[in-house]
Structure 1
């Protein structure tokens, strides 16, 4: 085994470290001396050595710039994430504001719609359809406790939607005009032609039984006629359009794609006549008694005599 020589590296390293430490301590103390002579010496050292150390300061400058850029990138990334969160919150608020604006517009449209002043209404919210024999129907959250009666008309903010068909204690069912079982008497304006609006499970119901089809033009306004007492007259239904098959159909004024609120119109039945005889008053203004005969007046006589019977032979002709 080879024998190692004396180690001179460790003592030399220790001596150099001690000298460097003493130089740094002396430089530190010299830099801290508050004296005009020391200040002039420090200025001279800076002017002599610092400009020649620019090449040594370049890596330090670049490193400090990189660190500052990384810190700036980190701040920008945090700000970007914060802006994304704020944008998501703003999108949610925007959606809520749009929904409130739509609901407000529909409610305002319901308040501004012009119908018969005698017709009061009850507003309800459209619920999901639970299914029934009708293919086109919706449910409302108002029922018998709110005074809803079967057969009443329902409208959205502008036009007729359908009629009440089935009333529960807290809910009621509305059969839409597009349902095949729906039959609504309507009037086409300005011609005044009467027709029957028939649902066929499409977005454009059919106008059947038009009195004079040539007088109906596409774009004519269609309202309820009030015939039969099914619906009050004058309610807006839509506009007449002509389909590709040549039949007259109806473009509904109600927005069936956004049925959220519906107005149920309270329609009162027409008054019934208790005494029909009072419609025909007597000629002299006196009331008609129960013991007096009623009917057509007795025919007058000719020259004070009675009207001869057509079956009697004329005078001067003897009978067989």
Structure 2
């Protein structure tokens, strides 16, 4: 087995490390000497050697710039994420503002509806659409606690919607004019013809029992007539249209696709006249005018009986 040669690398490495340590210690001590001569020597050394190491500082400068750019990019990313969150919040606020604006416009439209000043109203919000394929109705968030009475008329910001049919403590149900059970007497203007608005589960109810159809034209205004005390009179219902089958129907003035707020009109029964003496003449007080002559035969018989009595 061959023997290894003498290892010269280890002693040389130890010597070099020792010399490097001594040089570093000497440099450190020299750099720490507080002397004008040492200060001048340090300045000369910096001026002599540091400019020559600019090539060595280029990678360090680039790495520093890269680190600064990465930090700037990280800050920009965080700002971008924050702006995205703020934009989402602003979008939500915008949607809420648009909804509030629409609700405000509908409430203002309800206030602008011209009705009889004697009629007061209670405004309610539509909770849900409880209509089915065979029944058209909605629910309101007002009921007995708000003084709602069964049978009262309801309107949106444009026209008549229906009537109250079923009242609970806090809610009430509104049967729409399109419901098959709805029957409303109406007047067509300007002809003044009367008709019966009948719901048939379609968006265009039928005008039945219409007299003088030749005087009615598509586009005529239709209002409630007040007959039978079902609804107050002169409430806007819609306009006359002619269907494809030739029948006259009604285009509703109310926006049935966006029923959010309804106005319940307080209706009062017609006043009964208790004292009719001032309006109806009194009972038969006898014949007024000249007396008619009596029957001559009866008169002769009476005279004859009187004469016979006097002779006796």
**TM superposition score category, shorter chain reference:** 0.7 to 0.9
Distance 1:222 1:243 in 2: 16
Match of 1:84 in 2: 84
Query: Structure 1 residues 24 and 159 mapped into 2: Cα distance closer, same or farther (>3 Å)?
Result: farther
Where does residue 229 of structure 2 map in the other structure?
Answer: 229
Alignment RMSD, CA only?
Answer: 3.3
Q: Which runs of 5+ in 1 are unaligned?
A: 282-286, 307-320
Preserved CA contact (<8 Å) 2:130 2:137: no
Change (3 A) 1:300 1:8: farther
Which residue of 256, 275, 283 maps to 1:288?
A: 283
SS of aligned partner of 1:84: helix
For residues 133 and 57 of structure 1, do their structure 2 counterparts lie closer, same or farther at Cα, with a shift above 3 Å needed? closer
Structure 2 SS opposite 1:262: strand
Which runs of structure 2 are paired with 1:1-320 in the superposition (5 Å)? 1-28=1-28, 30=30, 41-42=41-42, 44-129=44-129, 135-274=135-274, 279-281=279-281, 287-288=282-283, 292=285, 304=293
| Deviation per residue, 1:49-87 (Å, 9 max, x gap) | 444434333322222222122111211111122122222
User: Per-residue deviation at 1:100?
Assistant: 2.5
> TM-score scaled to structure 2, two decimals?
0.78
Shift in Å at residue 21 of structure 1?
Answer: 4.0
Q: 1:29 to 1:200 in 2, by over 3 A?
A: farther
Relative distance call for 1:13 and 1:266 in structure 2 (3 A) is same
CA deviations over 1:143-193 (Å, ceiling 9, x no partner)? 233322221101122321100112233322110011111121222333433
Query: Residue 274 and residue 56 in structure 1: after superposition, are their counterparts in 2 closer, same or farther (change >3 A)?
Result: same
Distance 1:247 1:15 in 2: 118
Distance 1:134 1:275 in 2: 48
SS in 2 for 1:116: coil
Between Structure 1 and Structure 2, the one with more helix by share is 2
Task: Note the residue ranges of structure 2 that are not aligned, 5 or more in a row.
Answer: 296-312
